[in-house]
Structures are given as structure tokens and as C-alpha cells.
Structure 1
């Protein structure tokens, strides 16, 4: 950690170079993608990558006008965790018309049995945001589309702004930070949108590598340096609201660990506790078995063979990653390492069709057709 932090006052090292870009119009560059996704030739070419099923990953559903101010200011690193209610409604209408929409348990059972039909679609949400109940559920009901919501139980219990949103707010409102961490004095300039993006792209992976106690301490230092008031923003469901969501026949509840930590950074005992504690709390709250898991962050750096093995040992029927790809026939033997397609704020309908067609995976993750 220290070698990476030492460069925080200057240019970040190569592995931490900013990967975010200035926000673009949601329709930017999408017309040709939509045309390709609908063309007969490209559909045939991409069909092997589309596989049997597409598992969509959402986080939040927001009101239709939300995000416009963030787009205008040019710094909104978490914006793509949201999809507007209008866009989600259009996406679910398209999915209901053109795909075989299944609940996750149905899809897993059919995948394991070798009977999952092509053009199947599964909808999932991560974390447990309140808008999954208030905005997403009515739309899912309108189109009769099932969904699975993976709950990070610690976020439900805290019912406040998680660190990745607070980090964005602190950076957005400050011109810079001066903190002492790991025996070093660190300075981050956040004077303009570019500097804010660079700072977020350095601090975000740092925080992912920390345990929950370190995250709390580090965020406290940032708050103290920024001198900004701390807002308790109740973005997550409480116990009663979670029970209400779980009672709907369209909804399956899954575990998303307790503290939403990068599991690859944890020692074996802590790793098992993060998963089992989430599972046990949910089963106690909902009085039903919890058989499905989503790994926090879920990329190759955050969930791999060790984490898959623990999920199997703990008896989960399935577990999803954030690795890009579609369900293929070979995934019947890899039910604890399933890929998903993330949908975000800037995914207009043309991009949505592009992502479902298999073309997106063919271009961005060509080996996903053969490997987990």
C-alpha cells in the first residue's frame, strides 16, 4: 500500500492511472451500436458470445431528472451505478418482449440441468438500495419481470451513505485534502473536475483494499480535512422494507456479504465470516433460506478460486461476479463463478441492445465465450 500512496502528491503510478473519462451524453456513439446489434449478420456473428442467457447487473434506480446536474459538473464517478426509472421501464419492456425472463433460481436450475433456453434473461440488483423497492419493483411488476436483489447486510443495518458515495461528495465539495496516513503526509488537489477524477481514481482502489476499520478511519480523516458537514443519507432499505420487498413473488433475495469488502483482501476466517454472517442475518430477518451470493466488486482481482471454493463449501446454489460475459453451456459446471452484464446511467436503448446482443462481450471480453 505504501508504495502506491507515496505517489499521491504527484502523478499516480501506472496501475492507478485514472480510468474515468469526462461524462458524455447517454446517446454518445450509440447509433451505430444499435444498428449493428439489429443487423442480421452481426447477430449471427455475436450469437456464440450471447450464449444461453444474459444476467443483468443493476444497483440503483433514480428519478428521471436525477443525474443531470452531475453530468453538467463533469464529476460523477458513481453515476453509472444508477439507471433512471424511465430508462429502466423501457429496458424491462424490451426484455419482456424479446427475452425469456426468468428468476435466478429458475435459471440456475435449468442451467445445471442443461435445459436453459437461449435468449433467457435474469435481472439482478446489488447492495440493497431503497429505490429497489420504491422505484424498481413497480416497474418489474408492470412487465412481470423477476429480479434478484443481493443484500449487503451491514449497509442495511447502518442505513447511511456508503463510503464510495461519501468519497464522491467529499471530493466534489473540496479543493483539496491534507491527511496523515500510514506514516506519510498526503496531499490531494481537487481544484477542478479533472483533478477530482484523478483523486477519486486513486482513493477508490485504496479504500477497496482496506478492511472496514481502516475504511472508517480513512474516511474520518478525509472528513476532517474537508471540514464539510457529514450528511446521513438513508439510501438503503431498513428491515421492514426489506421484508416487504422479499414478500413479492417476483423477488429473490441473495447475500452480498456483510461489510461489502473486497473478499480477496481478507484472511480466510474473515472471508468466511463476511459471507456467513450476511447469510445468517438474512435468513433470520426473512425466515427463508438464502441460496445465492454476489461477490462485492466481483472482478478477477476481488473474487477468484479461493472465494468460489468458500461459496461452494457454504452451500450456495449460485454466485455471481462482475466479470463480463453471458451464461454459456460450460457454466453448468461453474455455478459459483457466473458473469454479468452491468447496466448504467449512460446506457441508452441502443447501448442496451448492444450489450444484450453479445457484441459487447465479443469486443470487450472475447475469451468469455470459452472461459470464466
Structure 2
């Protein structure tokens, strides 16, 4: 029997996602159109390590460590890069043993950027793109999403040593709480409990089906997260809350959020602070009236707490659509996505691309040279 939550490839050509499910019936129709095979394929992508992958990594490393990085070939006049990070941690490996951005790797990033490029605040980069100010050659802006405590205690000292500025996007509803970003929370839950048991406890037929496919723990966790990201926000929260109640996991230091006192300290140190919504929903999974509440609440809270109205915004999960972008334009001057690429003077200021900073500095160097403007 076909799973009710799985869109069967070949059963129809239209696999588009309804933009704003308005009621229970619309939400259920939305759930029924998720292509589970595509979800699994995306999840497998995080764990693929074929010979092509390793050859590419080797070429990038050789180019960097042999001093062949041709920085002069890219980021010329009128072109700039925005890098995005989330957090930096002390340990060099993640929950699944994968390399993560630890303090040593991040210091390599910052030293390289300070040496080869011209780091600027995101607002300065935006002003340059608009023509309101001169855009430095090889301009690059560092941005951090969510608002983790390690941005103050691990990131800030490294940036200060190299004189590099940065912009941090704050999720206001999580400031000063012991809350989790739900994707990281599920990662911890899956790593501590039998994955198939976690899937059963979700009560969701598609997740239960995923748990029966014999996927490795890391791929299974990633597939569940990818699936949840495609659900309407209410439906996703219901499942996450169910798992949270069944498998409580206290937030750890690597995932703890800033307090308002710490946010103000970052502002005092010269960090630029932008908005990242109140509760970090995927905005394309919300009704537009709720999107507007998220934007307005975040902007107003930051203004109340810091005395400055934020002009910059980062889309949670990088997701937007024309209707959401139009709403963002009512509240902010510029916004960044997770769409990969370089910025130019023709870039849409409310949908600026960013480059996700990879762990090895050799790959960062390669991406800055060979990424193309969208």
C-alpha cells in the first residue's frame, strides 16, 4: 500500500508546494504531496563520499596549500561575497563524527579573509551595491544566523584579533531561553536513542516509513529533518513537540542562545545586529498574516532592547517566495538568503545570495574564486 504522506514519482508532473495552506484540509493536501524519494535523495547527499568527492577536496587543498589560490581572479569591482555561519564550537567533530567548524578552523577562515580580502559589515556591502558608498575591491561580509552564545565567547575574540567585523541575525523569541533550534535538537535525539524507535514515536506515517527503509542513522535523521521542513509549520511543530516530550534532551553549551545582556555586549563590541524572526519558522510554510507578525515582532523587539531599528534580515532556512519577500521589504532594507552565489550591483537587495562557509579553509578559498553570481 502506498504511504498516504508520500507523493509517488510519475503519478503527476506538478510537484509544486502550496504556498499558504489556510485550513486543515489544505494542510492535509500539502502533506500528501511530499515526494519521499526526493527527501531521501537530499538526505543521502550529506553522506555521499564517492571518489569524485575526495578528488575535488584534494584539488582544493592542493590549490590552497601550494599557494595557487588566484584571489585576484575574482571579486573585482562591483562584486562581493556574503559568507554565512551559525556557530563555532570547541570540539572539531559533530554528533556523527563529521568535521565541524571549531575554533581552530574558524581562525584559519578569518586569518585568510583578513589577508586576501576586504571584510566589511553587511550594511557597508549593501550600501556599496546600492551605489550609496564605494564598494571595496574583494569585499566580503561575514554573517551569523540564529544568535548563539558562542558567537560572543568564541567568535568575537577571533574576529577582534584580526580586525574583522561581522553581522549577527537574532531570533528574538529564543534570546535568554533554554530552547533548541529544532533541527539540532532532533540530531541529538537521534544520536542518543534508537533511530527506528524515534521514528515510531513521531506518530507520522511518512517518518515511520523512513525508519523502515534501512537508512544509516545520520541519513535517516537528515531525511526526517528534510521531510519536516516541507510540512506546514503547525504540522511540523506537532511532531517535534511529540518527540521532545518522549525524548527530552537538555540544551548543551554549543546550542545555547545569547541573553539580552550578551546581545547588548555584542552591539557594544561593534557587531551589527539584524533580524531573524521571532521563532525561526520557515516563512513559506506560514500564512502571510503570521509571517508579518513574525517580522514585526522581531523588528520591534530588537528596537526596544537595543534602541536601534534593524535594517537587515535573514530568512530562516533561506526560504522565501515573492509574497514573503514583499512583506520583508515593508520592514527591512535588505535581506539575505542561503542561495549560493556572489553579489553584484544588479542583485536583488531583498534576496541577496550567500556562500555557506565550508569547514576546510581550502574549500572556502576555492569557493570565493569559483562561485558565480546568480
| TM band (smaller chain) | 0.7 to 0.9
Per-residue deviation, residues 206-254 of structure 1 (Å, max 9, x unmatched): 3223455544431233245xx54432335110111111112112x0000
Query: 135, 153, 156: which one pairs with 2:154?
Result: 135
- Backbone CA RMSD of aligned residues: 3.3
Where structure 2 has 5 or more consecutive residues not aligned to the other structure, the ranges are 10-34
1:189 counterpart = 2:206: no
Per-residue deviation, residues 265-313 of structure 1 (Å, max 9, x unmatched): 1111011111111111111111111110000111xxx213222211212
Q: Aligned residue for 1:56?
A: 83
Q: Aligned residue for 1:13?
A: 37
1:97 counterpart = 2:115: yes
Q: Aligned residue for 1:366?
A: none
With over 3 angstroms needed to count, the CA separation of the structure-2 counterparts of 1:183 and 1:31, relative to structure 1, is closer
**Contact 2:204/2:239, CA 8 A, preserved across alignment:** no
1:297 counterpart = 2:297: no
**Aligned partners of 1:196 and 1:102: how far apart in 2?**
40
1:348 counterpart = 2:360: yes
Query: 48, 57, 61: which one pairs with 1:30?
Result: 57
**Aligned partners of 1:244 and 1:118: how far apart in 2?**
31
**Aligned partners of 1:255 and 1:267: how far apart in 2?**
19
**Aligned partners of 1:12 and 1:50: how far apart in 2?**
44
**Aligned partners of 1:108 and 1:274: how far apart in 2?**
23
User: How many positions carry a matched residue from both structures?
Assistant: 336
**Aligned partners of 1:266 and 1:134: how far apart in 2?**
34
Query: 242, 245, 248: which one pairs with 1:221?
Result: 242
Partner-residue secondary structure (3-state), 2:304 = helix
**Aligned partners of 1:112 and 1:212: how far apart in 2?**
35
**Contact 1:179/1:185, CA 8 A, preserved across alignment:** no
Question: By how many angstroms is 1:350 displaced?
Answer: 1.3
Q: Aligned residue for 1:274?
A: 294
Where structure 1 has 5 or more consecutive residues not aligned to the other structure, the ranges are 363-368
**Aligned partners of 2:293 and 2:143: how far apart in 1?**
24
Question: By how many angstroms is 1:153 displaced?
Answer: 1.2
**Contact 2:87/2:151, CA 8 A, preserved across alignment:** yes
**Contact 2:6/2:206, CA 8 A, preserved across alignment:** no
1:256 counterpart = 2:270: no
1:118 counterpart = 2:109: no
1:47 counterpart = 2:74: yes
**Contact 2:288/2:324, CA 8 A, preserved across alignment:** no
Q: Aligned residue for 2:305?
A: 285
1:335 counterpart = 2:355: no
Partner-residue secondary structure (3-state), 2:141 = strand
Per-residue deviation, residues 2-48 of structure 1 (Å, max 9, x unmatched): 533999xxx94234422221679x997434124557648x767x637
Scaled by the length of structure 1, what TM-score is found?
0.79
Question: By how many angstroms is 1:146 displaced?
Answer: 0.6
**Contact 2:339/2:354, CA 8 A, preserved across alignment:** yes
Partner-residue secondary structure (3-state), 2:265 = helix
**Aligned partners of 2:207 and 2:146: how far apart in 1?**
34
**Contact 1:190/1:196, CA 8 A, preserved across alignment:** no
**Contact 1:161/1:233, CA 8 A, preserved across alignment:** no
Query: 228, 231, 240: which one pairs with 1:207?
Result: 228
**Aligned partners of 2:105 and 2:79: how far apart in 1?**
25
With over 3 angstroms needed to count, the CA separation of the structure-2 counterparts of 1:48 and 1:144, relative to structure 1, is closer
**Aligned partners of 1:198 and 1:27: how far apart in 2?**
19
With over 3 angstroms needed to count, the CA separation of the structure-2 counterparts of 1:90 and 1:282, relative to structure 1, is same
Scaled by the length of structure 2, what TM-score is found?
0.79
With over 3 angstroms needed to count, the CA separation of the structure-2 counterparts of 1:48 and 1:99, relative to structure 1, is closer
